[in-house]
Every structure is written in structure tokens, then in C-alpha cells.
Amino acid sequence: MNFKNNKSILIGAIVVILLIASFVGGFYTYKLTTNSNTTQISNKTGLVNSTNTTITIVDDTGRFVTIQKYPQRIVSLAPSNTEILYKLGLRSKIVGVDSEYDYTNQQWYQFDLNNTTQVTNSTAINYELIVSLKPSLVLAAGITSATQVEKMVSLGLTVVVLNPYTMHQIINDVSLVGLITGQNAIAQKIVTNLTNILNNIENKMGYATSRPSVLLTYYPDSNGYWTYGAGTFGDRLIADAGGFNVANNQTSQYPEISQEGLMALNPMYILVGVGPYGLNVLSYSSINPLWNNLSAVKGNTVYTLNDAYISEPDITLFSILQEMAYILHPELFNLTGNITGEVINGTTPVSNLNVTIITSKGNFTTQTNSTGIFTFKNIPAGPATIDITYQGKAYTYAARVIYLNMGYINLSV
């Protein structure tokens, strides 16, 4: 082939046209054969239509999905979905689960994995295993990518994606799964229960007068504390429970706050999740030498949450939310608490001094003992004021009566 100018330009043009044509043809074929292009999209998750044999819904990604009534073989691709299925009494219908998570570590988990197949490996889905299980329903989650959903649909599978962003959406999803599996009665019971918890907390939060700052950490190491940034459920729980997440403005969703960073933030409450990484909070001081200087540590407002591996949008979050609301705003729930403290003049403790605490539900008085320490137990919890009179002068201090723990305050005169 010679490269004379005109001829080569002509050939070049033909080549380019040929390539463009092949792309266009390729895309056309792609559009014809791919499901996502014919799928309708809607904004509202929920029921669309129900016939004698089928039920059509919109899932959390807006896809319309038609399911045959009722699925007897279900594959769940996330622990949050498995939990919903289990609580709806559908354990016997689960034929496949994800393998990313340790199911034995969950509060709601009571079944072994007999007769179920693990179909994922970290985020990779084993399509052959799923297809061989012949499922009538695949419950995917937010961690399932769009590519994976499309691949499963191309294999003829019925895929419903659950991806809630708020607590209300979790309730919605429970209702949805109940709908498509024919377990409406049980679903409604759970929905009512969860809605009550949520409404109760939301209503009471209307009366909160402040948002205490909170660090919610699930794992400490020598560099700092792993916590929840904006957009995570941990962050949302703190906000719903009436707190302010000190890690809210981090760029990463699961940032690590350094030891000095935590000193600077100095949150009023430190909530520690004892999830699969469960470390005894007492051991935190050995990991972080600055730990004992934190206000929350000195004031004893460090709490351990029972099950706080808060990275999945599951039903267990509701009990965690309730726990957090009680801790952050015990005054809204008429809870009682405790506070102890020391009255000190310079370095000398002041003994036998009357100490009065004024809470939202009454005043209480006690005396400091010989070492200057006073204690109030089982009095109304929440923000309070402490009044003392020493050598003719009146002193007032802001304090917090702490739920469950024994709060601590240092009063200098």
C-alpha cells in the first residue's frame, strides 16, 4: 500500500467511518439486548400492582420488578436483608447468603448456615452458584453494584435491591419484603413496633434544647479512632438521637480521627461500639495515652453500645438508636441518673458543705463528706445546675446528671 496523499486521506476517511459505524452498530445491538434500557424507573419505593399470581413493586433503586407469588427460594446478598427475612419467619426459604459477614456475631442470628450456600466472596458475586440454586428472588443491597445487578438480570434472575438511607426507609423495606413474600401480617407487626420506637424518639427530640457532641467509634488503634463520617448510618443515628457527630465534616465516610484530633474535638460523649472488633473500653487508655485527658473520660460519659457495628441498615439499628437517645437525652425520657463530684478550694477539699442540684424535675440536696466528695444517685437525669454557698459566696455550676454511669464534676471555689 503506497501512501500518496489523496489516496491516504480517502483511505483514512473510510477507516474512520468504518470504525464509527461499528461502534454505532455495537451500541444499537447493546440497546436491543440489555434489560436496563427497557426498565421503567420510579421515585417511590412500594407496591405498584398485585394480581392473582404476581406482584409488581418499585425497589429502592427505582426499578419496577415483577415477582411471582410467592418466592420459595431466596438468595440474600447482605446481612441486613438476611435479618429482615429471618425476622419475617422466612429462614427456611433462604437458600443463599453472602459470605462477607460473620453471621454468628449478630444478635438476631440463631440459625446455622446449613442448607444455605455462600454465594459471594467479599464484593465479588459467584453467578454460577446463584444460578445453580434456582432462586425465585435475589435480595441485593447497596453494596451490590449496578453492573452486578444487570448481570444477574441478564441471567434471568428476579432481583430486588434494598438500599435504605434513613431509618424510615428501613421500615419501608421491611414492609416491602413482607409484601413480596406474602408475610404481610408479621411485617406489619414489625413495622408498627419500629414506627413506634422511631416516632417516640422523633417526637421527644422536638423538646431537646441542645445537641451534645458525640464521637461514635468502632475501632481504636495506635493512630486514632475509626468513626463514621457524613452519609453513614452511624452519622445518621447520632443526628436522630439528638447528638452532633464530631466526625461529620470529614471527607471520608469511615475516617480515622487521630489522638490529637480527638483532644481538639473533645466530645461530650464517647460511644464505643462493641462489634466484632470488641475491645474493652478500659483498654483504650493503654492504646491512647491522651485518653484520660478527654472531658468525656473525666466526666464518665463514655458508653459501650451493645451491638454497634453500624455499617448495615438493619433492624437492630432501632434498638441502638433508642440506647443512644437515652444516653444523650435522658431528660426527654424521664430517666434517672447519677452524678458525683468534688468541691475543692485550691487544693484543699471542702468537707461538710451543702450541695444542691437543680434538675428539670426537682431539687436535691446533700453534703460533701470528709474528702469533699458528694454523690447524687437515681435523680432525674439530664442537664442540671449545682448551687453551693462557701464562705458567704454563692457559686453556680452547669452539670449533667448521667444516665446509667456515674457522672463526675469538679467544683472549684
**One-letter amino acid of 182:** G
The residue count of the chain comes to: 413
46 binds other proteins (CB under 8 A): no
How far apart, in whole angstroms, are the C-alpha atoms of residue 162 and residue 177? 9
To other proteins, the closest distance from the beta carbon of 9 in angstroms equals 10
Q: Is 34 a residue that touches other proteins (CB under 8 A)?
A: yes
Q: Does 53 bind other proteins (CB under 8 A)?
A: no
Task: State which residue, 130 or 411, has the beta carbon closest to other proteins.
Answer: 130
Q: Indicate the residue among 160 and 308 with the shorter CB distance to other proteins.
A: 160
Q: Please identify which residue in the block is written with the cell numbers 467509634.
A: 217
Pattern 250-279, binding to other proteins, x per CB under 8 A?
-xxxx-------------------------
Query: Cβ atoms within 10 A of the Cβ of 229, count?
Result: 18
Q: Is 115 in the site for other proteins (CB under 8 A)?
A: no
Stretch that binds other proteins, among 61-69, 167-175, 180-188, 262-270 (CB under 8 A): 61-69
Only one of the segments 18-26, 185-193, 364-372, 382-390 lies at the binding site for other proteins (rule: CB under 8 A); that segment is 18-26
In terms of DSSP bridges, do strands 348-349 and 354-359 run parallel, antiparallel, or are they unpaired? unpaired
Question: In the beta sheet, which residues pair with residue 393?
Answer: 390
Whether residue 194 contacts residue 260, with contact meaning beta carbons closer than 8 Å, is answered with no
By CB under 8 A, is residue 51 in contact with other proteins?
A: no
121 binds other proteins (CB under 8 A): yes
Residue 303 in grid coordinates = 458508653
Stretch that binds other proteins, among 173-181, 249-257, 260-268, 285-293 (CB under 8 A): 249-257
- Is there binding between residue 148 and other proteins (CB under 8 A)? yes
C-alpha–C-alpha distance, residues 338 and 331, integer Å = 12
User: Residue 353: CA atoms inside 13 Å, Cβ hemisphere, count?
Assistant: 28
Three-class DSSP labels, 330-346 = HHHHCCEEEEEEEEEEC
CB of 142 or CB of 276, closer to other proteins: 142
Q: Are 270 and 301 in contact (CB under 8 A)?
A: yes
> Which part of the chain contacts other proteins (CB under 8 A), choosing from 150-158, 291-299, 348-356, 394-402?
150-158
Should residue 249 be labelled a site residue for other proteins when binding is judged by CB under 8 A? Answer: no
Looking at beta carbons only, is 89 or 231 nearer to other proteins? 231
How many C-beta neighbours within 10 Å does residue 228 have? 27
> What are residue 65's phi and psi, to 5 degrees?
-125, 135
Residue 94's nearest CA partner among 220, 181, 176, 5 is: 181
Q: Which of 69, 73, 91, 151 binds other proteins (CB under 8 A)?
A: 151
| Among 116-124, 168-176, 186-194, 348-356, the segment contacting other proteins (CB under 8 A) | 116-124
CB of 285 to other proteins, least distance (A): 29
Q: Which three cell numbers stand for residue 385?
A: 445546675
Chain Cα centroid distance, residue 302: 19
Q: How far apart are CA 409 and CA 312, in angstroms?
A: 37
Phi, psi (5° rounding) for residue 69? -75, 135
Q: Which of residues 277-316 bind other proteins (CB under 8 A)?
A: none
Q: Does 154 bind other proteins (CB under 8 A)?
A: yes
Binding residues (CB under 8 A) for other proteins: these are: 1-3, 8, 12, 15, 18-19, 22-23, 25-27, 29-34, 36-37, 39, 41, 61-63, 121-124, 126-129, 131-132, 134, 142-143, 145-151, 154-156, 161, 229, 231-232, 251-254
